[in-house]
Every structure is written in C-alpha cells, then in structure tokens.
Structure 1
Amino acid sequence: MAFINEFFANLAGLGKYLMVPLMIAIIGVLFKVNVDKAIKGGITVGIGLFGLDLALSIVSDYLGPVANGLVTKANLNLDVVDVGWQALSGIAFGTQIGAMIIPVMILFNVIMVTIGASRTMNVDIWNFWHYAVTGSLVYFVTNNILYSLLAAIAHAAIILLFADRTAPRVQEVTGIPGISIPHGGVLDQWIFGFIMEPIYNFIGKRFRNDKKTKVGGGQGKKLQENAIFKIIQDPIYLGFILGTVLGFIAGQGAKTSFTTGMAMAAFLYLTPRMVKILMEGLLPINQAVQKMRSKMDGNSDLYIGMDNAVGLGHNTVMLITVIAIPILIVLAAIVPGNRVIPIASLAACGYCSSMLNVVHKGKFGRTLFSTTILFISTLLIASYMAPVITEVAILSGFETEYALISSLSGGTLIAAAPFFLAFRFSNTAGLIFSLIIIVGTIVLQRIYFKNKDQQEETKEVKQV
C-alpha cells in the first residue's frame, strides 16, 4: 500500500505538462493510433498547455504590479491571504488522502464509462487535486479515509454528469471537437450559469420587445458599422487600451502603463493561437477514439476530458481575465463578511469565467455579470473556510508566513464546502449525502444515455 501511495504521489508530482501529454499518448495507442502520431499528439497538447500558461503568465507578470497597486489603493485591511491554486493543490496532494486520489479517481472514471454512466475519459489527471481538496477537508473533520474518498468520488460523479451533458456546448463555444470539461473546480460555474441563463433569456426577451415598441430597428446595425466600435471590438486594441488604463488607475508611470497595455494586447493575441496548437494535438487522437467507439456502440461519442484552460482562448474570457481584476479587488473591499485579500488568484480570473462563458454561449455581458456575482460567493466561502484550510495546510507540512490562508482560485472550495459541511454536521448525514449523489448520478446518467441513444437510432431510421 505504501508503495502504491508513493508511486501515485510521484505521478502527481509530474504536473499537468507531463501527465496530460502522457495520458493523451497512452489513450492514442490504446485506440490504435500510430505510435508516432500518438506521442507527437500528446507532446503537441503539452505544448498547447505550456503556451496557454505562458500567455497567462503575461497577465501575472505585467498586471501583477498593477493589481498590487490597486490593492494598496483600496487599503484592504483584511486578515486572510489568498495563496492561489498552486498552493492549494500542493496542500491537497500533500495530505494523507491526496496520494490516494489519483488511482481511486482513475478507477472510478473507468467504472463509470464501462457501466454506461459516463462517456468522458478524463485525461486531466493533474486536476484531480480538486477532488483531493474535498477528500482532505472531509478527512479533517472525520479522520476517516472511507468517508473522505466517498466524498471525493461524489464530487467527481456530479462533475462527470455535467461534463457529459455540456460536452456539445463546450465543443461549440471553444471550437475544439471531441472534448468535455470534467474539471473539479467548475461545478459552481455550471450550476450558477444554468440558473442564470433562463433569467437572462427572460429579461432579454422583455427588453427586445420594449425596444421594438419604443425605438424601432436599425440602431444595433448602425452601432456595428461604427468605426470606433469596430476598433474597440478588436482584441489587440482593446487589450492595449484596458491594460494602459488599469496601469494609470493603479498609479503606475506612463512607461509602465503603456507597457502593461502592450502586454495585455499580446495576451489577447497569443492565447487563441495556443488553443489552436492544443487542438492540433488532440485531433488525431479524437478521430481515432470516435472511430473505434462508433464501431463498438453505433454513433455514441466518447469525450476526452480536458482542463477548463481550453476555454481561455475565447475573446469574452480573455477580456474578463483583465477586467475582472479590478472588479474582484473592489468586491473584496465592499462585500460584508469578506476577510480575504485577493493576491495570488488575480491573474487566474479567466478560469473563474471559462465555463460560465460556455453556458452563456460567449455573451460578454451575461458572462461578466455572472462572474461578478460568483466572485461574491467565492469571497464569502473562502473567508469561512480559511481557518480549516490553514489547519489542513499545517498538517500537510505546508509552510506559510501568514496567520490565515485561503484560495479564491476557481470554484474548488465552493464545490467542496457542501461535503465538508454535511460531514461536519454528522458522519451519517455526510455519508448519506455522498451516497445519494453517487448512486443518483449513476442512475440518471444511464437513463440519459439510454434515451439519447434511442433518439439517435430513431433519427437514423427516419433518414434511411
């Protein structure tokens, strides 16, 4: 057992740049892709992931000083420091549960696909740390490995459900075929996005009806043809303008402000190209997977589960990555009950909107508003969980100079909090809650795919 734990602990230490390409290559070989193409495809995906993070590092490197200036100007006298996803993932994998999460999640994923309860093969093994957070928090209150693993499995089960159901929409918005997003930190985005989308539709419908009555048509078309509006829509111009303005607002000099503008223009220009590289690596693997799957089960798909970073290349998400930084700082200053100073997660704001953007189909206003509201929930839950996160960090050997730490990155703590609270109430309540989610997900998924396959067969018969 100790050897197995050590093996998977070392595997977790590889990080996503090695782990994801390795899994892509292995899946390619298993699905009879030429070995050379499978390895090259895996490496190309790794290059795309590297490129995405390099593009995102532009935000951290150049907007970092600007963000610190904004934090200073806001005079945030708060007692919890945001340490970001990097520290939180290290804490999660460093606990007693952390090393066990990878083999357990791989086995669970294989079982779900085998019994027809999922069609997502999650190759994004590095991001199993989100499930490790859930398991570690439950272990903190129960000191029971079985309960902790059940909570982590329940977290993964509900994520697979959303990954399967949203895969067509993900592919449509990102432009990447054959993928789904089983990322453990986007559960809050899926749930909140699908709650808000019909509300936006209702409001939009009423607004359009009122506009037709009062104004008449033609205004939107004139705006689209306006030369200034066309320039503002261009990501390069918009990145330069936003970066420069934020620099001046933060009190930076002219040189720094304009350099920040150039950096943001580079970020908006480079990120979509990195996504295209990632797509290039996935294409031969995806084609082989779908070809073999169609031979086995007719027209049913098998999705390759990827990091939600693939959603960063959309124009809406890239703009929100920049705009959300001052918004999050302002919210930290004014939201009652917030204790967290946003620092490490500021550069990763795009991750907090990537799947909201998918739900809202790229609509900028909807995605920005939903992201803003979700930030409020994130601040409050991160504040509430700070003492526990700090204690778990200390127990895992994580060293920090701060009295209290937490993380605002993604929705990890929002997803983990219900399981933590259920087991904190009582072990029985937590156990029942976790089992209901696991069993309920399996039943619902099997019914869903059975109906979906029957509908596809009916369509084929009608076409013939």
Structure 2
Amino acid sequence: MLEALQNFFNVFGASIVVPIMIFIVSLFLKVAPKRAFFSALRAGVGLTGFGWVISAFTPLVTKYVQQMVESAGLNLPIVDIGWQTGSLTAFSSSIGLSFFVFGLLIELVLFLLGITRVFVPSNLWNNFGYMIWGTMAYAATGNFVLSFAFMVFVLLYSLIMSEVVADRWSDYYGVKNATINSIHNIETLIPALVLDPLWNLLGINKVKLNPESLKTKLGIFGEPMTLGFILGLIIGILGSLKELGKMEAWGGILGFAMSLAAVMTIFPLITGVFASAFGPLAEAVERNKKKESEAEAEVAAKKRWFIAVDDGVGFGEPATIIAGLILVPIMVAVSLLLPGNRALPVVDLIAIPFMIEAMIAVSKGNILKAILNGIVWFSLGLYAASALGPIYTDAVVKYGAVLPAGVALIMSFNLLAHPLTALVFFAWISGNPLYIGITILIYLAFLFLLRTRRESIFAYLRKMADKNSGFEGSKEKIFISED
C-alpha cells in the first residue's frame, strides 16, 4: 500500500493532488459541483504557475548567491539545495508515507473533537513538512514509534500557532475563515509576537514602510515591479564584484534585475488565481456561521473554524514579497558573518516570502518589522540548520535523492531554519522522558490557554496590529469569483 501511495505522488505531484483534495473537501462542504471543479482547476493552475516561475528564477538567484560567497572567500559546508529534496525524501520513506495515511485520520479526529479549529485536510499536501521531520527522527534513532509520535506532536503544536494567527491572517490576506498551517512557514509567528513590544517601544510601528507608503513617497520607485528591478541590480552587482569591468557581467546583472521585476509582477497575478481556489471553501464556512442567530453569536465565535490553505495564497501580496525579497541578500550576508554558522542558504531564499506571512499579518504589513523579525529569527534558524544539516543529509541519502556533485552536506533553509522545531526535535530524539515530557506539558498549557481564551487572543492580536501605521492588506488582490 505504501509503495503504491509513493508511486502515486511521484507520478502526479502537488499540482494534481492538491486540486483533488480541494474538489473532495468542497463537495463535502456542499459547494456546487461546478464551483468545486473550478476551484480545483484554479488550484492546479496556480501551483503550476508557481512551479514555472520558481523553477525558472531559482537558478538565477543561486548563481549570484554562490558568486557572493566565492567573492567573500568563506567556507560554509552545509549547502541549501531547496525544499523539493525534502519533499521527495518525505514521500519516499515508509515512516513519512505512514504519517500521510494515518495523519489524515488524526487530523480529522483532532478537528472533530475540537482540539483544533483548523481543518487541515484542505491543505493535505503540506503534510510533507511533518513527514520530513519524522523521517529525520527515524534516520537518527531508528525508532519508528518515537518518530511517528514526534510527527504527531509537531502537528499538534503547529496547529496551535495556526489557530492563533488565523483571525489575523484571514483578515490581512482577505480570505475569510482561512489560515496557513504548514510547519515550515507558521513558526515565524513566535518572533512576531515576542518581539513586537520591543519594536513598538523603539517606534517602529509608527514607521510607514508598507506598499502604499512606498508608492506615495517613492512614486514609480515604490512600485513592486520597480523595487524588484532595483533589488535585482543590487544582488547582481554584489554577486559580480570581480567582473564589473566586463560587458558580459552587466548583461547578466540587468537580465537578473529584469527577471526579479517580472517575479514581482507575475506572482501577484498567479496568487490571485490560486487564492480564488479557496474562496468557495471559505464561503461555505461563512454560510454555516450565518445560520447562527444573534443570540448565539458568542457561541458561534467560540465554534468558529478555519480552512487550512496553502501558503502560496499570500506569497504575491505586495508587503510579503517586498519584505521577503529584501531579506534575500540580507540573509546571505548574515550567513557569511554569523559566528559559528555552517549553513549557506541558496535555493530556498526564494521561499522567504512564504516564511514571513505570519510576521506580515501580525504587523499589518509593516515591512520594517518583518525584516527585523526575519533577521533575528532566521539567524537563529541558521544555527538550527547547522546542527540539523548532518541528520538531514543522512535522511536524504537513505530515502531520497543523490547529493549534488561536490557537496557533502545539504540542508533546506525553508524546512530546517526553525529554532523552535529544532529544539523540540532534539528533545524527542534524545529519548529522555524528562525532555519529552517538558515539551508535552508546555503544549498542554498553551492548548488550555487557546481553548479558554481564544477570542481574547484574537482581540489582542487585532489591537496589536492596529498599532502599526496604516496598511489594510491585500483584500483587493484576492478575489472570490462567481462561477
């Protein structure tokens, strides 16, 4: 059975599996078959578009990042070759596929029992994020039961973060009753919450650095397309410092700048198509809410639930993609200067906009806050990736792909640069009941807080977001079409 499932995912991939899941879930929520079909089709079109743009753009980013590293003359032995290798490894291991089968049942039970109010099966593909951590745990310990239990635990605590950010993410990105839940992108909620009071104390919440203010202050230079071109020039020049006297180098630099301008322009369009795939699902949830009378409004709020959507829904939102792409050269520089770091982010740098959506939503599109939060958290993430690199490499060699020529250690910045998950991982693979017990007790404490004070948490996050100078998010970018 597991081998057949593995062959299925190898053959069809995300662009087919995700639409199938959306179609099934839509019918389950009583969406009209025609709308369900178009939702599924838009999801497939969006994912295909993402794949085309990222696959075309990634080699260009990789080229200039590697040239920057060579110019600096530093040796960072753990090289980022992208999340795709981790996905392949997750779906190639028996423990990963076991979670994909039984994890679906666990997710349904958690939702039906009210332990989480996030409906995960609508974003089933991103379960590979849990699966790769379990595969790494199994490669490190050889203990199937421990590794499977660890995957379930990672699912549990990620669902807390997913639900905490749900109201803000849904409001900012303009998709009602929706949230993100993939473990490789939700953890950035932590620095967004913890560091926000510090940034406010420093007055950063009053800094009007968001897409609207950039357009107003900079004119054409504040447009995402123009910003992409300028950022491309900067990255290209930094990656070609030894070749700036050659005409060929400038041809490459200007070509890269134009490519980045194209990404900044095209991605929001693809995002609009992809996000519309989840519109009917969100509407179905809304219809269920409206059936409640006003007298039952408080009860309805407590019962409010959210559809889990792919992070691609928010990738092309202006503040998200601008902050994410600004962080690309910053994180390369940080990786070169950070004492004790052994990890070099390369391919997954293009995934940074996915990784900062929680930061953007919580700060109401404050680009400066997102950049500062990213520098702090991803710097810690580089240490996490440095520690995890050998284990990740071992898992890939055992279950996944052949390593690139000349590379001994690999990592995925998107999958591994997560300090909290790394700490939990090492606690669990130690096999020490005390360490594992501490992680479980902390989870239970936060679960109790969420289940008893959820509306207060939502209200606090709305108040926190409103302290930032004025940007209402991407509601005009994400649409629900009438089919």
Match for residue 464 of structure 2? none
Match for residue 469 of structure 2? none
* 1:350-369 equivalent positions in 2, closer than 5 A: 350-369=353-372
| Residues 192 and 142 of structure 1: CA distance in aligned 2, closer, same or farther (over 3 Å) | same
Asked if 1:278 is matched to 2:239, the reply is no
| Residues 40 and 228 of structure 1: CA distance in aligned 2, closer, same or farther (over 3 Å) | closer
SS of residue paired to 1:365: helix
2: CA distance, partners of 1:83 / 1:26: 33
| Residues 108 and 160 of structure 1: CA distance in aligned 2, closer, same or farther (over 3 Å) | same
1: CA distance, partners of 2:422 / 2:102: 21
Asked if 1:432 is matched to 2:447, the reply is no
Q: What TM-score do you get using the length of structure 1 for normalisation?
A: 0.85
Match for residue 254 of structure 1? 250
Q: Which runs of 4+ in 1 moved over 6 A?
A: 223-228, 450-453
Match for residue 296 of structure 2? none
* 1:143-182 equivalent positions in 2, closer than 5 A: 143-182=142-181
Deviation at 1:61, TM superposition (A): 4.3
Match for residue 461 of structure 1? none
Asked if 1:114 is matched to 2:119, the reply is no
What letter corresponds to residue 235 of structure 1 in structure 2? P
SS of residue paired to 1:103: helix
Asked if 1:100 is matched to 2:98, the reply is yes
SS of residue paired to 1:336: coil
2: CA distance, partners of 1:224 / 1:48: 29
Instruction: Please say which of residues 135-144 and 190-199 is displaced more in the overlay.
Output: 135-144
2: CA distance, partners of 1:51 / 1:434: 39
Match for residue 235 of structure 1? 224
* 1:322-341 equivalent positions in 2, closer than 5 A: 322-341=325-344
Deviation at 1:348, TM superposition (A): 2.2
Provide, for residues 58-97 of structure 1, a one-character-per-residue CA deviation record: whole Å limited to 9, x for no partner. Answer: 5324433332322222223222222221112222332331
2: CA distance, partners of 1:234 / 1:321: 15
Instruction: Please say which of residues 338-347 and 20-29 is displaced more in the overlay.
Output: 338-347
8 Å contact kept, 1:58–1:267: no
Count of residues in Structure 1 that have an aligned counterpart in Structure 2: 438
Match for residue 478 of structure 2? none
Deviation at 1:27, TM superposition (A): 0.9
* 1:124-143 equivalent positions in 2, closer than 5 A: 124-143=123-142
Deviation at 1:30, TM superposition (A): 0.9
| Residues 450 and 258 of structure 1: CA distance in aligned 2, closer, same or farther (over 3 Å) | closer
What letter corresponds to residue 14 of structure 2 in structure 1? K
Deviation at 1:182, TM superposition (A): 0.8
2: CA distance, partners of 1:440 / 1:110: 22
| Residues 450 and 341 of structure 1: CA distance in aligned 2, closer, same or farther (over 3 Å) | closer
Deviation at 1:6, TM superposition (A): 3.1
Provide, for residues 300-342 of structure 1, a one-character-per-residue CA deviation record: whole Å limited to 9, x for no partner. Answer: 4332101222221122221233322221221121111111232
| Residues 115 and 294 of structure 1: CA distance in aligned 2, closer, same or farther (over 3 Å) | farther
SS of residue paired to 2:278: helix
8 Å contact kept, 1:66–1:247: yes
2: CA distance, partners of 1:249 / 1:337: 23
Deviation at 1:187, TM superposition (A): 4.1
| Residues 282 and 143 of structure 1: CA distance in aligned 2, closer, same or farther (over 3 Å) | same
Gaps spanning 5+ residues in structure 2: where?
Answer: 293-298, 459-483
Match for residue 308 of structure 1? 311
1: CA distance, partners of 2:69 / 2:189: 30
Asked if 1:421 is matched to 2:420, the reply is no
Match for residue 470 of structure 2? none
SS of residue paired to 1:81: strand
8 Å contact kept, 1:317–1:350: yes
8 Å contact kept, 1:16–1:124: no
8 Å contact kept, 1:232–1:238: yes
SS of residue paired to 1:362: coil
Larger radius of gyration: 1
SS of residue paired to 1:405: strand
Match for residue 456 of structure 1? none
Gaps spanning 5+ residues in structure 1: where?
Answer: 212-218, 454-464
8 Å contact kept, 2:116–2:163: yes
Instruction: Please say which of residues 51-60 and 186-195 is displaced more in the overlay.
Output: 51-60
SS of residue paired to 1:97: helix
| Residues 406 and 131 of structure 1: CA distance in aligned 2, closer, same or farther (over 3 Å) | same
8 Å contact kept, 2:165–2:358: no
SS of residue paired to 1:66: helix
Task: Give percent identity, aligned residues only.
Answer: 24
| Residues 431 and 247 of structure 1: CA distance in aligned 2, closer, same or farther (over 3 Å) | closer
Deviation at 1:169, TM superposition (A): 0.8
Provide, for residues 260-285 of structure 1, a one-character-per-residue CA deviation record: whole Å limited to 9, x for no partner. Answer: 22222211111112121123222223
Match for residue 215 of structure 1? none
2: CA distance, partners of 1:354 / 1:165: 13
* 1:43-62 equivalent positions in 2, closer than 5 A: 43-62=41-60
